[in-house]
Amino acid sequence: MSKNEEFTAFMREAKDPLHRMAFLLSGDAHRAEELTQQTFERCYRHWHKARQGDPLVYARRVLANLRIDAWRRTRREVLTGPDELPQDDARVARASSRTPTRTVDDRDTVVRALLRLPLKQRRVVVLRHLLDLSESEVSTELGIPLGTVKSTASRGLAHLRAILDLDALGGTR
């Protein structure tokens, strides 16, 4: 199989998981598309390295680094605030039985809460709990010690719970 065929097969397999990770890290659909595209561009340029191990692990690391680079360049992002996004009546959604609409609303609530986490906590929480990577895999992907992954995940989840609890009570943080 040629390099192009091999990479094309990898892209088909990895597009959705990488886009999901990009969206969860950036909170913006357009930025997620850009990050995913940039990830594929970098992976293609360094395909000889990426295919030596697990190409998806390599690509997730590239994506995380691209996100960090973008954050460092801007140092301050202007994200769409919760008041600027389409509103839903969370109380009605919680009171209703589980429906596709409620599932989307729940997902939207979690994404909004994730965007309020510091970037370091958001990256660890997304990789560990939304992408179901083990603590050691998160450590390897982010290049941080295992203890840092554990403590950051713990703090991130506590912060996320506090945000979600506060939102459920109708407050903002």
CATH number for position 64? 1.10.1740
Query: Quick check: 59 and 22 in contact, CB under 8 A?
Result: no
Q: Do residue 51 and residue 110 come from a single domain?
A: no
Sign (positive/negative) of CA torsion 98, 100, 103, 108?
Answer: negative
Three-class secondary structure of residue 59 per DSSP: helix
Host domain of residue 156: 80-173
pLDDT in tens, 102-145: 566 677 788 888 889 998 999 899 888 888 889 998 998 888 99
Examine the pLDDT at 86 and tell me if it is beyond 90: no
Alpha-carbon separation of residue 168 from 93, 154, 161 (angstroms): 11, 21, 10
More confident position, 78 or 39: 39
Q: Do residue 70 and residue 88 come from a single domain?
A: no
Alpha-carbon Rg for the chain in angstroms: 18
Mean pLDDT of the 23-34 span:
90
Query: Quick check: 75 and 62 in contact, CB under 8 A?
Result: no
Two tokens, residue 117? 């986490």
Task: Mark which of 51, 78, 105 sits at the end of a domain.
Answer: 78
Q: Do residue 73 and residue 116 come from a single domain?
A: no
pTM of this prediction exceeds 0.85: no
Q: Do residue 87 and residue 172 come from a single domain?
A: yes
Task: Mark which of 43, 78, 113 sits at the end of a domain.
Answer: 78
pLDDT score of 105: 67
The structure tokens 């680079």 sit at 69
Q: Do residue 18 and residue 50 come from a single domain?
A: yes
Three-class secondary structure of residue 116 per DSSP: coil
